[in-house]
Structures are given as C-alpha cells and as structure tokens.
Amino acid sequence: MQRDHAGQTITALREAVRKIDRRHAGPVPGPWVAGARGDDAAGFAIAAIGAVFDKGFPVFDLHEIRCPLTRDIAAATGFLAGMLAACMKDAHGRIAWIDEPAGRMESGQLFPSGLAMFGIDPARLLVVHPADLKTALWAGDEAAGCHDLAAMVFHVRGNPAAFDMTATRRLMLKARQNRVFACILRQGGEEEANAAATRWCVRALPSLVDPQLERGIGLLRLDLALERNRNGRTGQWAIAWTHRSRNFEHLTAHPFDRTALPPDRPHGAARMGQVVALDRAS
C-alpha cells in the first residue's frame, strides 16, 4: 500500500511540474513563418524578409544561425526559438537539441520556461549532452535521420575542423530525406563554407520599451543579417520579439523604438561639481 501511495504521489508531482513548464506554452497566434509541416516551403509574415526567398523558406533543410560574439548566444537562441515555434506550429514531434561540450560550458543550460514564452512546449525538448565533439557529430547525424523528430538543433562553439563541409552535407541530406528542420547554432563562430541552405547572423540590439510595462524588462531586439541564401537574395533587418503576440516585428517604423531604462535608473544625470584647473605634476 505504501509503495502504491508513493507511486501516485510521484505521478502527481510530475504532472504538476509539467503544468508549470507549460504555463507559457500554446499556439502561436501570429506566426513569423506561415506554413504547415506538410509543406516543403513556408512564407514569412514579415514581407521584407519573405521577399528575398524566390520559392519560399525551405523548412526541411539545413540552416545555420551564428553569433560572432559569445555574449550574443542568447539573442541567437531567441531567434532560433521563434523560428522553431513558427515552422513547427502544426507538428507534434520532438526537438532534439544537441549541446556540444565547449558551447555548453560558455552558454549554460537551456531555460524551459524561456522557450515556452516563444510557444515551444518544453515537454517536446530532447536535450543531448555528448561527452565530446565526435559523439556530438554522431548524435546530430542520428537525429537528422530520425523520422519521428520535428527538428534537430546542433549547438557548436566556433569553427571546429571536424565539423566541415562533409559533416554538414550529411546533415543536409538526412534533413531533406526525413523532412526534419535541422539547424546549426554556431556560438562565437566565423563565416565558413558549408551545406546550409541559409545562414543568419544575429546580434543583440538595445532592447525596446514594453509599451504595457515601461519600467519592466524591455522587448528583445535583434540585428538580423541573412548572409547566405541558396534560394534567393540576402539582406539585413532590425526585428523585435513581442511575447504577448508571440511574433517578430519589423522595426522600420516601430512606434516604441527607444532604449529601455533600468527600473532603478535616476531621472537625470547628477549635477557636476565645480570644474577647477590643475597644474601638471611635471
């Protein structure tokens, strides 16, 4: 009887944790990328970005999102989360997130509630922590070749020699064959030739004031550059993520395009003291 009671308690606790993790999750009301999982290509809700793709955004292919500086990995991850939530809004498969050890050491762990704010159910996430880069590459190949997965993310730091054109071409072919959204999340890496259909460079911009909470945390704002596009042209845009609409917005004429102030910031600079002239010591 005691063992049965303990089992029921554990089940109830697990269900409570799942409800907490899903408190921000839900359907994306204004998807940034419009298109169902049954389509090979999708269109962008932001017209300026969608215009550069001649045949639509190739969902089931290999893509790359990079940030030149390690400090921008959170911005790059946020952009990827928005893309995942929109591309897979009709999918029910899991997301394999493979963290290469060097990248994980500097960027830290994923925050489930943060992903949920982008519309991704944390329960769908399958996080893999390989012991080394060789094992991570093997896990990436296996994930890209899995029919039951909706997406595969390969998080890597820098430009390791082992992750070359041959390795990325394997990922690309498997993603296409198995209809998996595959993405390289490159932390602190430079541009290099690989088999990715698109390569995006993401940098963080000063955040925007939230119009409904001006003294709170500002809206995520990104400098987004499409450096490589196999199916069209490249471009550069300033975009912002709004949690309430779960959507990216183009900032060409954004009404709140001003820097968010910390809540404890004084209203003005302190008055300077008297300026005096000092003779040189020597």
Tell me the percentage of the chain whose pLDDT exceeds 90: 40
Which domain CATH number covers 176? 3.40.50.300
> Is 61 a member of any domain?
yes
Question: Which of 79, 66, 62, 82 lies closest to 143, judged by CA?
Answer: 62
pLDDT digits (tens, 9 = 90+) for 59-85: 899 999 999 998 899 999 999 998 888
Work out the pLDDT band at 20, boundaries 50, 70, 90: very low
Q: Is 124 part of a structural domain of the chain?
A: yes
Domain membership of residue 280 (yes or no) is: no
Residue 196 confidence (pLDDT) above 90? yes
Domain that holds residue 79: 39-199
Q: What is the mean pLDDT of residues 36-45?
A: 59
Asked whether residue 32 is domain-assigned, the answer is no
Is 256 a residue whose pLDDT tops 50? no
Q: What angle do CA 28, 62, 238 make, to 5 degrees?
A: 55
H helices of the chain, in order, are 2-21, 47-50, 73-87, 101-107, 112-116, 133-144, 165-178
Structural domain contains residue 256: no
Residue 133 confidence (pLDDT): 93
Instruction: Indicate the number of domains in the chain.
Output: 1
Higher pLDDT, 262 or 238: 238
User: Hey, is 86 helix, strand or coil?
Assistant: helix
pLDDT of 272 strictly over 50: yes
Residue 245 resides in a domain: no
